[in-house]
């Protein structure tokens, strides 16, 4: 358990929790210095996993995701395979879990879900341009694949893929949708992240439609299931949802919507909340 002082420093409201990661991404040089004790950070992750294991709400996360994987054709067996391929998992935008308590518990939740659903950690790719050298090493020791390229969320899938995108920027979700913009492909995308309805509610509708048009098209036909959390972890898991894209609902959208495949540019966005691929900085190379 973290000291009371460290826990109190992240007791923020919904906006502040999201803003913390956004500010960190926009100013990566402000990321925490390299931790001196890697064993300490690994121990803290283990402690966070054990703490969450004692929380009732995590069981609901487990059951919801388990049902989702079964519904998409993925069993939660040891092999966790469908046909000839293994279930893939992708985590973007986790943040500096060595210094940020919220990010550490979000990582702990992911590990706990993998353990409970018998999903090998090695099937999950991780990326955040703010990861430090030590954090990349810890993730690799845990078994994760640490990506070296900033995909900006633009990962196309061809079979059910689970994306863990906690408190990420709107552009990341919009980019992911654009990369899989087809009523045949989107049902393969499974997301645990910010509620799309919540994103819509916090924006002016005209800006939502102009800047994040793939999100705006899909928000009313995706299937959202709110994910619970206890009061203690409200700042860590607030506004979280399991989001799926049922084929029958996608078919209700006008066919013309699927023909617009223009890559998002965000030229009107002054507060983008993600680091774009062209924004190179020293941290980009630390996961190599």
Residue ranges of the domains in the chain? 4-285
Q: How far apart are the first and last CA of the chain?
A: 31
pLDDT number for residue 268: 78
Lowest mean pLDDT among 25-39, 40-54, 106-120: 25-39
Buried b (16+ CB within 10 A) or exposed e, 85-105: ebbbbbbbbbbbbbbbbbbbb
Q: What is the pLDDT of residue 16?
A: 43
pLDDT tens string 12-31: 344 444 444 544 444 444 44
Summarize the confidence of residues 117-134 as an average pLDDT. Answer: 94
What's the whole-number average pLDDT of the chain?
A: 82
Predicted local distance difference test score (pLDDT) of residue 57: 95
The pLDDT tens digits for 193-214 are 999 999 999 999 999 999 999 9
Q: Is the pLDDT of residue 176 over 70?
A: yes
How sure is the predictor about 145, in pLDDT bands with cuts at 50, 70 and 90? very high
Q: How confident is the model at residue 279 (pLDDT cuts 50, 70, 90)?
A: low
Query: Please, which pLDDT band fits residue 283 given cuts at 50, 70 and 90?
Result: very low
Q: Model pTM? A: 0.82
Exposed e or buried b per residue across 133-149, where buried means at least 16 C-beta atoms within 10 angstroms of its C-beta:
ebbbbbbeebebbbbee
pLDDT of residue 101: 96
Does the pLDDT value for residue 147 go beyond 70?
yes
Percent of the chain at pLDDT exceeding 70: 78
Q: At what angle do helices 101-117 and 14-26 cross, to 10 degrees?
A: 100
Quick one: average pLDDT of 174-190?
Answer: 96
Sheet architecture: strand order including 145-146 = 145-146, 124-127, 88-92, 161-165, 189-194, 240-244, 223-226
pLDDT, mean of residues 171-185: 96
**Which pLDDT value is given to residue 37?**
78
| pLDDT at residue number 59 | 93
Grouping H, G, I as helix, E, B as strand and the rest as coil, residue 240 is strand
């Amino acid at each position: 358990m973290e000291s009371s002082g460290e826990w109190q420093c992240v007791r923020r409201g919904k906006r502040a929790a999201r803003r913390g990661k956004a500010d960190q991404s926009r100013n990566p040089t402000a990321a925490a210095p390299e931790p001196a004790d890697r064993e300490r950070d690994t121990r803290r992750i283990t402690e966070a996993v054990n703490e969450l294991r004692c929380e009732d709400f995590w069981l609901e996360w487990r059951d919801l995701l388990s049902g989702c994987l079964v519904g998409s054709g993925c069993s939660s067996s040891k092999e966790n395979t469908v046909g000839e391929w293994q279930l893939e998992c992708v985590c973007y935008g986790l943040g500096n879990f060595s210094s940020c308590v919220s990010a550490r518990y979000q990582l702990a939740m992911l590990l706990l879900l993998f353990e409970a659903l018998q999903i090998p950690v090695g099937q999950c790719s991780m990326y955040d341009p703010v990861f430090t050298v030590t954090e990349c090493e810890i993730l690799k020791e845990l078994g994760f694949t640490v990506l070296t390229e900033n995909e900006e969320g633009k990962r196309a899938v061809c079979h059910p893929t689970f994306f863990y995108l906690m408190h990420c920027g709107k552009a990341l979700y919009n980019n992911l949708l654009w990369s899989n913009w087809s009523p045949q492909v989107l049902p393969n995308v499974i997301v645990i992240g910010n509620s799309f309805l919540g994103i819509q509610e916090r924006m002016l509708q005209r800006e939502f439609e102009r800047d994040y048009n793939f999100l705006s098209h899909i928000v009313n036909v995706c299937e959202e299931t709110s994910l619970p959390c206890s009061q203690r972890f409200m700042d860590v898991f607030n506004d979280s949802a399991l989001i799926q894209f049922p084929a029958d609902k996608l078919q209700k959208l006008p066919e013309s919507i699927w023909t617009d495949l223009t890559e998002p540019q965000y030229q009107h966005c002054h507060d983008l909340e993600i680091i774009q691929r062209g924004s190179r900085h020293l941290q980009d190379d630390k996961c190599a």
